[in-house]
Every structure is written in structure tokens, then in C-alpha cells.
Amino acid sequence: MNLSRILAYTVRHLYLYKRSLPRLMEIFYWPVLDLLVWGFISIYLMRFKGDLPNFVAFFIGALILWDILFRSQQGISVSFLEDSWSRNLLNVFISPISPAEYVFSLLLVSVLKLIFASVVLVGLAWILYSFNIFTVGMDLIPLVANLIIMGWSVGIVTMSIILRFGQEAEVLAWGIAFLFQPVSAVFYPVSVLPEPLKTIAHFIPASHVFEGLRAVISGGALPLNEILWAAGLNVAYIILAILFFTWNFRTIKKKGLLVKVGE
């Protein structure tokens, strides 16, 4: 064993963190998110002292719906990354496809991917935990639709950031959706959150969806105000995401960065 060689390769990895904010953040990102999510779940469970009604339905239902948001975002970001990794983006962008057509094709891929993933998850939840997500009934449609659109907005923004900052930003494709998890109140109600996070949650479409899901699973009606608020936010966010993508695409063409994506 040669200490100099071991140190050489340690330094090689440490150099990466010197100039890379995303890499540096990644060290803290997952532990902090885990602490937040599990901390709020613990507070929620403590309030009911283990006597939480519809325990299984709340958690498994929430997990299945969260996965819809996650797949919807990943369907865009990861599909885009595959083109970037295979140095194929130039072939795509010198073909007659327009940036809008390219984005729409990725939206379609994301829907197909989440259909496959959802079929498996829903089936397994039924077989393993006797949980049937379809007991939510037709209310499932607006809940799922809102999550898909939120996933698209996050996916389009992620793709735009990767286009601009390249490899440095690739970690976002896997991690960015989880940034919204603590304030999306996936596994606990918004009321568990401290005041500042409650305000943020109010502007996150997913938090209204999960509040709606819990209301329906508890046997109540779908709170229309929550769904309409989520839909309104989603319309605003998807428009902003598209505008951001368009502005960003124009900027990277001006800076000559399009040809450097994936390097």
C-alpha cells in the first residue's frame, strides 16, 4: 500500500467539490431531506399515539401517488440525459424537430413510463397489502392529473438547468423532486409543518393533492378547493416552466452551449 497513491486519488475526488456547488450540496441534501420527512412523520404519528385511522391506506396510497409525480418528472429529465450521455443532442437539434416537439415527445415518454410503473405498484399494493387505490374512485383522476403536471413542470425546469450547466447539474435529475417532498406533505398533513413551511406548502400543488387524498381515504368528499388551488398553481407553474425553457434555450444558443451539453 502506498499512501501517496491513495492520497492522489482522494485528492482527485476532492477536487470535484472545489468548484461544484451541486456536488457540495449533494453531501447535505439527502440527510437533511431524510431528517425533515422522517421527523414530520414521527410528529404526526406521535399525535395519534399509534392509533392512526387508515394507517396502511394513508401511507401506501401516498407512496403510489408520490411515485406518479416522481416518474412524471424523471420521464423528462432522465430521457433528456440519455440523449446527452450518448452525445446525440446535436443530431436531434440539427433535425427538423422543434424544441417544443422535443419537449412534447418527452412528456409522452413520461406518461408511458408512469403508466407502466403505476400498474406494477398498484398491483403489488393490492397483492401484498390488500390496498386497492381504486377505492378512491373517480377522485383519483384530478389527483393524478395534478401530480403529473407538477412532475412535468419540475422535469422541464430540471432539463433546462442541465442544458445550461451541463454535467454539474445532472444530479438534479434524481434529486430535485425530493426537494419538494417535505413541503408536499406526502405522508403527513400540512398541519404538522411549522409555520414557514406551511406557507411554502400552500404554494406546492402536491400538498393540496395529498390533503385531498387523505380526505377521500378518511371517507370524506374530495375537497374541491384544494384541487382547484392545485390546478391553478399547476397552470401557472407549467407556463413558467415552458417560458423558462424557451428563454434558457435561446440563451444557450447565444452562448454556444448547446454543442457542449454532455461534455
Measured in whole angstroms, the distance separating CA 225 from the mean position of its chain's CA atoms is 23
Angle at CA of residue 230, ends 114 and 119, nearest 5°: 20
The least distance separating other proteins from the CB of residue 119, rounded to whole angstroms, comes to 23
Choose among 247, 199, 215: nearest CA to 99.
247
Q: Quick one: 5 or 254, whose CB is closer to other proteins?
A: 254
Backbone region of residue 156 per phi and psi (left: phi > 0; alpha: psi in -120 to 50; beta: other values)? alpha
Cell of 251: 440563451
The least distance separating other proteins from the CB of residue 247, rounded to whole angstroms, comes to 13
Answer yes or no: are the C-beta atoms of 198 and 172 closer than 8 Å.
Answer: no
Q: Quick one: 19 or 254, whose CB is closer to other proteins?
A: 254
The least distance separating other proteins from the CB of residue 113, rounded to whole angstroms, comes to 15
The least distance separating other proteins from the CB of residue 22, rounded to whole angstroms, comes to 24
Q: Quick one: 160 or 207, whose CB is closer to other proteins?
A: 160
Q: Quick one: 239 or 259, whose CB is closer to other proteins?
A: 259
Q: What is the CA radius of gyration of the chain?
A: 21
Q: What is the dihedral of CA 254, 259, 261, 263, to 10 degrees?
A: -130
Q: Quick one: 18 or 254, whose CB is closer to other proteins?
A: 254
The least distance separating other proteins from the CB of residue 166, rounded to whole angstroms, comes to 15
Enumerate binding residues for other proteins (CB under 8 A). 82-83, 85-88, 90-98, 250, 253-256, 258-259
Choose among 117, 114, 88, 116: nearest CA to 102.
88
